[in-house]
Structure 1
Amino acid sequence: MAESKVSLKLLIDTKTQRVLFAEADKTTVDFLFDILSLPVGTVVRLLSKQGMAGCLENLYKSVENLNETYIQPNQTKDTLLKPRSAFGVCSSSISLLSITDNEPSQKLFYKCHNAYCYYVAEDPRATCPGCGSTMSTNMTYVNPPPAVTEQNGRNDADGFVKGVVTYMVMDDLEVKPMSTISSIALLNKFCIKEVRSLEEKVVDLGMDEALMLLKTSLESKTVLTNIFLKKRENNLDAAWPLINSCRTFVIE
């Protein structure tokens, strides 16, 4: 299956080599807002291979390595290591930060065997407050019927924001609806005197960039610049020794 991606149109100040802001559609903004619904344990798990700064990774590994002997019988490690997002969160229609496990795709609920009890639990070991029985009877959550889709096949009722406008994403990930007036105000704020110093660049945000965005957002106030411009500089720095050796060869 092809990797999911979203696009951003960056407005770059070529003189200072920084991203002033980016134009984004509903899908991209839904993805950005969806980050706020990620449990801390999921964030640590996603960034474990990225070399996460701080001590949260040590906490995660402590739970991972803890012997089951020390864990309460009504608890499991997965409660902390593989937490679920809060039920009811409007997740985006495209998930760039998903972790593929053998986790259930549907949320499961449980009740007791008595038809006259109407209590529901998420844990099959829970006790029914009505009759005292174990709530182990499986009840599967049924998704609501899909809303009317647009011509492009995307369900515009999904996610968090409406898809009728273009959004502006700042370098520090501040998001707001875009307008001509707000764009001009920003150019004045950044003291842009010459329009020719500006460059538009469309970039793709795939899983690698999404992980980098998540990590950088915890460490920096210039997220878009660090991801899309610093990476280009690093690529040039890596290529410089080869370029230098070629120049030396030509001179000799």
Structure 2
Amino acid sequence: MSSSSTTKLTLKLLIDTKIERVLFAEASKPVVDFLFNMLCLPIGNVVKLLNKNEMVGSLGNLYQSVENLNHNYMQSDHQTKDILLNPSAPIGSIEIFHLFPPLQKALRTSSGVSDFILTAELDDDEDQEEDEEYDDEEEEETEEDDEETIGGETLLYVCPKKCSYDVTCDKTTLCSRCKKPMNRETSCVGKKFDEEYLSINNGFVKDVVTFMVMDDLSIQPMPTLSGITILNKFNIKEMGTLQEMVVEFGVEEASGSKLLKASLQSKMVLTSVFIKKEY
């Protein structure tokens, strides 16, 4: 999975070609973080996405999956489940914040994490004014960065325009808000951050197992069962009808928006989005 604005996630789908339906998908931590993160989206933005459609579908299964998931598979913070089950504001992950289009300004949370979510597009005039202001200040800020002495080892970079609260280890990463390089150095006080910490110790679930995502978005750790046992669970009689397919999704494909919309309208989310292309 690449970083920056080209961030993509992958899902390995197991498809029954006879009925053209996804039986389940194998998902990594970032995919599960992304799906759980949909529970934190402000309801107003979801309403804008759905327009007049009812909020029905598979989000309830996501919620129940969080309730049922053993604490051993969650991040050590005791508030992790509460953030998901009783969200008060969006929370993002370094891995997933690029997956929704940058459609509105970052919403600040108490943890200082920003998430770019689904609403109407940014006001072009406002963006133009901000870009002009940024162009005037960019050279001055660059000079300040060159002269600034940072105590300790500098590991992180932020947007020089200061338009988001995102951080990166790669100064060539583009800001998801203004698309400028995030090349302004910043230092970390307290716990030392490195690439491993940023890629693993964030989001909601631990990167310790592969997860099984059902077509209706029910999620659980991948069972330690034989392939035959798993297939028997789905009452598969003809092995020849099964096909594996790896799909990528990211902001370019608008798959994040499609998955969110399908989760509120369908019990066959993965099939609707990746097989039947109904969204």
Match of 2:208 in 1: 164
> Which residue identity lines up with residue 15 of structure 1 in the other structure?
K
Aligned partner of 2:95 among 93, 96, 107 = 93
Q: Give the residue type in structure 2 aligned to 1:160.
A: F
Q: Which blocks of at least 5 consecutive residues in structure 1 are unaligned?
A: 56-84, 110-140, 235-252
Residue in structure 1 matched with residue 260 of structure 2 by the alignment: 214
On the 8 A contact 1:147/1:157 being kept in 2, the answer is no
* Whole-angstrom distance in 1 between the partners of 2:268 and 2:202: 29
Aligned length: 168
| Aligned mates of 2:219, 2:107 — CA distance in 1 | 33
* 2:270 is the counterpart of 1:224: yes
Mapped to 2, the partners of 1:159 and 1:186 lie a distance apart of 28
Distance 1:190 1:97, change over 3 A: same
Residue 28 of structure 1: CA displacement? 0.5
* Cα deviations by residue, 1:216-241 (Å, 9 ceiling, x for unpaired): 1111100001111102xx7xxxxxxx
Q: What's 2:241 paired with? A: 197
Q: CA 1:201 to 1:104, structure 2 compared with 1: closer, same or farther past 3 Å?
A: closer
Q: 1:193 to 1:227 in 2, by over 3 A?
A: same
User: Matches of 2:40 and 2:226 in 1, distance apart?
Assistant: 28
Counterparts in 2 of 1:158 and 1:224: CA distance versus 1, 3 Å: same
Paired residue secondary structure (1:20): strand
TM-aligned CA deviation for residue 26 of structure 1: 0.4
Q: Distance in 2 between matches of 1:203 and 1:108?
A: 32
Deviation (angstroms), 1:188: 1.3
Q: How does 1:101-180 map to 2 (within 5 A)?
A: 101-103=104-106, 145=191, 147-150=193-196, 154-180=198-224
* Cα separation, 2, equivalents of 1:181 and 1:104: 42
TM-score, length-scaled by structure 1:
0.56
CA distance in 1, matches of 2:14, 2:238: 13
Map Cα deviations across residues 71-109 of structure 1 (whole Å, 9 max, x no partner).
xxxxxxxxxxxxxx7358464631223544345768699
How far the C-alpha of 1:5 sits from its partner, in A, is 1.5
Q: Which amino acid in structure 2 is aligned with residue 224 of structure 1? A: L
TM-aligned CA distance change 1:185 to 1:143, over 3 Å: farther
1:12 corresponds to which of 15, 18, 33: 15
Where does structure 2 lack aligned partners over 5 or more consecutive residues? 56-86, 113-164, 166-187
Counterpart of 2:9 in structure 1: which amino acid? Answer: V
Alignment partner, residue 3 of structure 1 = 6
CA distance in 2: counterparts of 1:178 and 1:198, whole angstroms: 19
Task: Tell which deviates more after alignment, 92-101 or 28-37.
Answer: 92-101
Assess if the C-alpha contact under 8 Å between 2:91 and 2:109 holds in 1.
no
Contact 1:165 1:177 in 2 (8 A): yes
